[in-house]
Chains A and B, each alone.
Chain A
């Protein structure tokens, strides 16, 4: 236990840097998304400028959200959480600066430049070109070197579930990313599509979800001051998720030529996944008892809502993987609604909660709880508006496609829903601006002062520690 510190040092500078990078890349990614949505309503927007073509902008949007906003937010959270979970420092601050530089300056920014210039891969969730993919693998490896050794150094006897998710997520993604980005380039057609399908789900299920769920499991007890409801359920959920999630991938190609046995496996796994998420969310919601439906602490607000959204999106996913539903809504706006419920709802709310939680504990950071509360409500309302309108559009499109109506009718029928979706950009953007305000305005150290009464903390170090969220051994 010699290298375990009583009050392990958190690299607050890197938390801050990644938090800022997360927000900057978020604003740009959201701008790309808004532009793409407007181009569906006014298709000649940006006409004549090849780099503003709808397809390229869409690539920049999805990759920016995943590798810019979410990845940076997760990294910010990891710098805060790993020292607390392990009682040890991360590997090196210098490595941290390299990781920051590689991630933002060798992946996100050049990736955007290249896809807008027409250099990309037409693979879902893998649009950045191969040269950038190489840097992502390097970045993931650097992250593994930065965050995994504290878990594996000798002396750590028990590990809280968030730690399991962090390790599992980083290791799995390091393997899955090259698979999804490289294999379809060397294995053609239907065979390659099988691997594509795996990556489409692994990106969300084994990169975003573990890190987001790690945040939920960490912030809920840490912010509420109460231990998690059941450690047994948390570990059961972990093992089930890592077993079942990877088997879902083929559900992206239902009714294709991929062997039916594989499709059915994936569909069954999708159903089991829904049940698993119910278990996990039950555990998390029970842990939230006493915090109220909308907790007072802004980080807890985001995290509690993320938990509920996780349940909804997963049950929706289980449903839409079933063949009867899939046959109708596959390829429609329903799927876009689903992906935004997952990424803008579940993942963004978890990431926001994680960032706010870590930010509150940086003694020199500004903090504005009122702005964060505004942000929460604006984002919740905007996200709900977007997801509802797209889901409704999907149902309308599905019905028209089943009928004999000409194709153009489905495009015309979607239009009013697309208008609503584009209008949802207003609360969403306002929400993110308020979020930025929550982290950039307000008195310095206000975060610490806000949490101290709930945490009964007397001493303040470089970073204030909540009560050990582990409670009991795993």
Chain B
């Protein structure tokens, strides 16, 4: 009889002490620290969450940034209780084979996610993630409802706290009322999202590097990280390229200023599948800059002066609003665009590339085809003009 009592009494005690009581504390915390009306999940995102659960995603990817420096460095601010209050059941996870996803929502674009789900090794060459091609109709740009829902769910991760903004953080800090609790304060001390792949605005604080550049290391890094999108020889024809919009740049068709490549590696290209690569040290990134610039074929002659002058007039009439008067990509309309317009001062396209961009547009961006609006001579002229704006020192 006493044995049965042991079973019941100690069960009740453990549930009360380690289940009910912490639950009450957490409930109070959630109410005190949560924004007034945090955004929950849409029906589609809920369906995606169910797929995430059924496929065992939580057994490879956690959704729980711990109050631990190593976690905060890689993933960002520790997960607060209210952030998972919509999860029935929670998906905190107990194993990380892949990275934590608690704040994955603002890191990658949809096209990257579709490519990654369809065939992970298209975009992460050494990934061990299983393929979810059965969620698609044969290609990453033909997702079925399940893939759409799953990507919608992934893009919702960490969103609620981002939307709550600084006001939400202030309220949470106030609600916490814990100025002496060192661990609790960690939730407010770090950047909200520290994912090393998260794209930042063009030009943000690229670290300098003036040391030796290791070409062998650069080639290894390129093969391991870049070739799956940009192709083995940088021609934008990697296995993952077809799935992405905008497609990966043809690195061999551009002459790049060193500062431009450094900026792209350090900040990514916001709005595209090109992530930042902040988990590589500056020495490695410098090596990559050398490799990327080395793909460029030999220099082409500039166009005849008359052509360039004619192109300048076409440019002034059609292109300045996005690409800016000096071709630096900061036209007055540029602020409205998700993907920053190309700066011709830091990269010079080859003539064929330039013509292609003007004639056909750039798929997945707001650069439309100008074939209907410009005559062929005008197109040729402006394509030659933009090639004359390059400043090899990467002037802004």
Q: Which residues of A contact B (CB under 8 A)?
A: 39-41, 43-44, 46-50, 53-56, 58-59, 118-124, 148, 151-152, 159, 163-165, 167-172, 175-176, 179, 183-198, 200, 202, 206, 238-239, 242-243, 246-247, 249-250, 252-253, 255-262, 265-266, 327, 330-332, 335-336, 401-402, 404-408, 411-412
Contact = CB atoms under 8 A, between A and B. Distances in A.
B288 to A, nearest CB: 13
Interface string B54-70: 11111110101011101
Given A188-B90, A336-B95, A404-B279, A152 B1 contact: yes
A44 B126 CA distance: 12
B337 interface: no
Interface string B85-115: 1111111111111110000000000000000
Contact of B279 (A120, A330, A406): A406
Given A54-B130, A171-B11, A190-B30, 8 more contacts: A171-B4, A187-B23, A191-B27, A192-B87, A247-B14, A262-B22, A265-B17, A411-B128
Nearest to B2: A164
B292 interface: no
Nearest to B186: A255
Nearest to A409: B279
B129 interface: yes
B11 A175 contact: yes
Contact of A47 (B27, B88, B95, B130): B130
B126 A200 contact: no
B27 A406 contact: no
B301 interface: no
B7 interface: yes
Interface stretch (B76-84, B231-239, B261-269, B385-393): B76-84
Interface string B121-147: 100101111111110000000000000
A234 to B, nearest CB: 13
A198 B16 CA distance: 11
A223 B280 CA distance: 61
B131 A43 contact: yes
A196 B89 CA distance: 9
A63 to B, nearest CB: 12
Interface string B10-34: 1101110111011101110110000
Contact of A159 (B3, B7, B18): B3
Contact of B94 (A124, A179, A259): A124
Given A167-B4, A175-B7, A247-B18, A43 B128 contact: yes
Contacts of B7: 167-172, 175, 242
A193 B93 CA distance: 10
B196 interface: yes
B85 A188 contact: yes
Interface centre among A120, A188, A197, A257 (most CB of B within 10 A): A257
A258 B11 contact: no
Contacts of B240: none
A122 B14 CA distance: 23
A194 B11 contact: no
Contacts of A121: 53, 89
B245 to A, nearest CB: 24
A55 B26 contact: no
B10 A331 contact: no
A152 B250 CA distance: 79
Contacts of A250: 18, 22
Contacts of A197: 18
Contact of B91 (A41, A48, A122, A179): A122
A269 B281 CA distance: 42
Interface in B200-218: none
Contacts of B92: 193, 196, 253, 256
A466 B17 CA distance: 43
A189 B33 CA distance: 15
B26 A257 contact: yes
Contact of A191 (B26, B52, B98): B26
